[in-house]
Amino acid sequence: MIRYEIEGGHLPVVICYPQAGETLCTESGAMSWMSPNMQMNTTSGGSIKKVLGRMFSGESLFLNEYTALGGGGMIAFASSLPGSIIPFEVTPGNGIIVQKRGFLAMEKGLELSVYFQKKMGKGFFGGEGFIMQMVRGSGMIFLEIDGHCKEYTLGVGESIVIDTGYLAAMTETCTMDVETVKGAKNIFFGGEGLFHTRVTGPGKVWLQSMPLVQTAQALTPYLNINNDNDGGGSGINIRLGD
């Protein structure tokens, strides 16, 4: 298993120390800094099907591979937004299902593919998106989580109900279903939307405290984007208070 360190609190970075010949893969632009002996190679990562799958799941069309040459190396990948970086060791039969844009970096040899929900309603109404990502194989993967990450281990038949967008990842042994909020008063005045997501074990589930979509919606009332039709440019005004 590759040696790594995660630093930075809620502005995290994972620093990896591959041995000679070991390779890490990441999407375009995710590398933050590295030792001079790390060799970069841009690849499609496989077939056209895999390339299109990454596109539909919100990732880059191409992957960058970084290989340590002539000895041990060092390479760092920083989170793109405030949040958490979680490591997960993928083993045969113990893959992980991840939200869109959750992939940060992984060891070469892991397979990143599209995971389609079995029921259409799960994707359109569950808040996790119709397409998620499945990671299988053998090796370490590092995931980006929006805000604080809370991990739960679910037993057989044990479940947890999650509001829209707060599900970050779950092991492939878990199952996911979408439930309609019961009661007209709860739907119209409860402020929780029409649907909840239920994840049932056995397996692990990772929840995030600050989903990007909800954060953007919360900030929208305080942002006033001005477009200058006279060609003078545009700007963003931040309104504090009423």
Domain residue ranges of the chain, discontinuous segments joined by +: 3-238
Q: What pLDDT, on a 0 to 100 scale, did the predictor assign at position 101?
A: 80
Q: Could you identify the residue written with the tokens 């340590």?
A: 68
pLDDT given for residue 126 in this prediction: 47
Tokens of 30: 């995710």
Q: What is the pLDDT of residue 59?
A: 53
**How is the chain classified by DSSP, letter by letter?**
--EEEEESTTS-EEEEEPPTT-EEEEETT-EEEE-TTEEEEEE--S-HHHHHHHHHTTS-SSEEEEEE-SS---EEEE-SSSEEEEEEEEBTTB-EEE-TT-EEEEEBTBEEEEEE-SSHHHHHHSSS-SEEEEEESSEEEEEEEES-EEEEEE-TT-EEEE-TT-EEEEETT-EEEEEEPPSHHHHHHSSS-SEEEEEESSEEEEEESS-HHHHHHHHGGGEEEEEETTTTEEEEEEP---
Separation of alpha carbons 53 and 113, rounded Å: 6
Q: Is 170 exposed, middle or buried (0-12, 13-18, 19+ CB in 10 A)?
A: buried
Q: What is the pLDDT of residue 164?
A: 74
Tens place of pLDDT for every residue, the chain, 242 residues? 899 999 999 999 999 999 999 999 998 788 999 999 999 999 875 544 555 555 544 555 678 999 999 999 999 999 988 999 999 999 999 999 998 888 999 999 898 888 766 554 544 444 444 578 899 999 999 999 999 999 999 999 999 999 878 999 999 999 988 777 654 444 443 445 567 788 999 999 999 998 876 666 666 777 765 555 555 555 556 555 55
- At 124, give phi and psi (nearest 5°): -75, -30
Q: Which CATH architecture has domain 3-238?
A: 4-Layer Sandwich (3.60)
Decide if 195 contacts 162 (C-beta within 8 A).
no
Question: What's the pLDDT at 149?
Answer: 94
Q: Could you tell me if 221 and 240 are in contact, meaning their C-beta atoms sit under 8 angstroms apart?
A: no
What is the reported pLDDT for 118? 55
Which residues on neighbouring strands pair with residue 94, listed in sequence order? 91
What integer pLDDT is reported at residue 226 of this predicted model?
A: 57
